[in-house]
Chain A
Amino acid sequence: MSNQDRADNVKTVEQSTQRTVLRSILVACGMFAFGFAMVPLYNVFCQVTGLNGKTDPDPYLYKAAEAKVDTSREIKVQFVATKNAGMGWDFSPSTPQVTVHPGEPGLLTFVARNPSDKRMIGQAIPSVTPFEATNYLHKVECFCFTTQTLEAGEEKVMPLRIIVDQDLPKHIKKLTLSYTLFDVTHMY
Chain B
Amino acid sequence: MSTVTDSVDTDVKAHEDHGPAKGLMRWVLTTNHKDIGSMYLWFSFAMFLTGGAMAMIIRAELFQPGLQIVEPAFFNQMTTMHGLIMVFGAVMPAFVGLANWMIPMMIGAPDMAMPRMNNWSFWILPFAAVMLISTLFMEGGGPNFGWTFYAPLSTDYGPPSTTFFIFAIHMLGISSIMGAINIIATILNLRAPGMTMMKMPLFVWTWLITAYLLIAVMPVLAGAVTMMLMDIHFGTSFFNAGGGGDPVLFQHIFWFFGHPEVYIMILPSFGIVSAIIPAFARKHLFGYTSMVYATASIAFLSFIVWAHHMFTVGIPLIGELFFMYATMLIAVPTGVKVFNWVTTMFRGSMTFEAPMLFSTAFVVLFTIGGFSGLMLSIAPADFQYHDTYFVVAHFHYVLVPGAIFAIFAATYYWLPKWTGHMYDETLAKVHFWMSFIGMNLTFFPMHFVGLAGMPRRIPDYALQFANFNEISSIGGFLFGTTQFLFLFIIIKCIRGGEKAAAKPWEGAEGLEWSVPSPAPYHTFTTPPDVK
Contacts and interface: CB of A to CB of B under 8 A. Distances in A.
A137 interface: no
B222 A27 contact: no
A183 B242 contact: yes
A53 B216 CA distance: 30
Given A28-B177, A38-B253, A52 B243 contact: no
A20 interface: yes
A142 to B, nearest CB: 15
A123 B314 CA distance: 23
B185 A32 contact: no
Interface in B314-366: 314-316, 319
B189 A32 contact: no
Interface in B219-233: 219-224, 227
B190 A21 contact: no
A64 interface: no
Contacts of B314: 52-53, 131
Contacts of B188: 16, 20
Contact of B220 (A21, A35, A43, A50): A35
Contacts of A50: 316
Contacts of B437: none
Interface stretch (B44-52, B124-132, B244-252): B244-252
Chain A, interface SS category: helix
Given A25-B181, A131-B316, A16 B189 contact: yes
B185 A125 contact: no
Contacts, number: 102
Contacts of A24: 180-181, 184-185, 215
Of A29, A39, A46, chain B has the most CB atoms within 10 Å of the CB of: A39
Contacts of B222: 32, 35
A20 B241 contact: no
A38 B243 contact: no
Interface in A1-52: 13, 16-17, 20-21, 24-25, 27-32, 34-36, 38-39, 42-43, 46, 49-52
9 contacts: A13-B190, A20-B189, A24-B180, A27-B216, A31-B218, A35-B224, A39-B227, A131-B314, A182-B242
Contacts of B224: 35
Of B219, B237, B243, B248, chain A has the most CB atoms within 10 Å of the CB of: B219
Given A182-B241, A184-B242, A21 B223 contact: no
B243 A180 contact: no
Contacts of A16: 188-189
Contacts of A43: 246
Interface of B: 113-114, 177, 180-181, 184-185, 188-190, 215-224, 227, 235, 237-238, 240-244, 246, 248-249, 252-253, 256, 314-316, 319
A32 B252 contact: no
Nearest to B256: A38
A28 B243 contact: no
A28 B181 contact: yes
A23 to B, nearest CB: 9
A84 B243 CA distance: 13
Nearest to A122: B242
A132 interface: yes
A13 B215 contact: no
B320 to A, nearest CB: 11
A52 B219 contact: no
Contacts of A65: none
A72 B179 CA distance: 66
A61 interface: no
Contacts of A28: 177, 181, 215, 218-219
Contacts of A25: 181
B204 to A, nearest CB: 15
Contacts of A125: 241-242
Contacts of A54: 246
Nearest to B319: A51
Contact of A17 (B113, B238, B246, B249): B113
B181 A21 contact: yes
Contacts of B220: 31-32, 34-35, 38
Nearest to A130: B316
Given A17-B113, A131-B316, A29 B242 contact: no
A51 B223 contact: no
A29 B181 contact: no
Of A20, A31, A32, A42, chain B has the most CB atoms within 10 Å of the CB of: A31
Nearest to B216: A31
B391 to A, nearest CB: 23
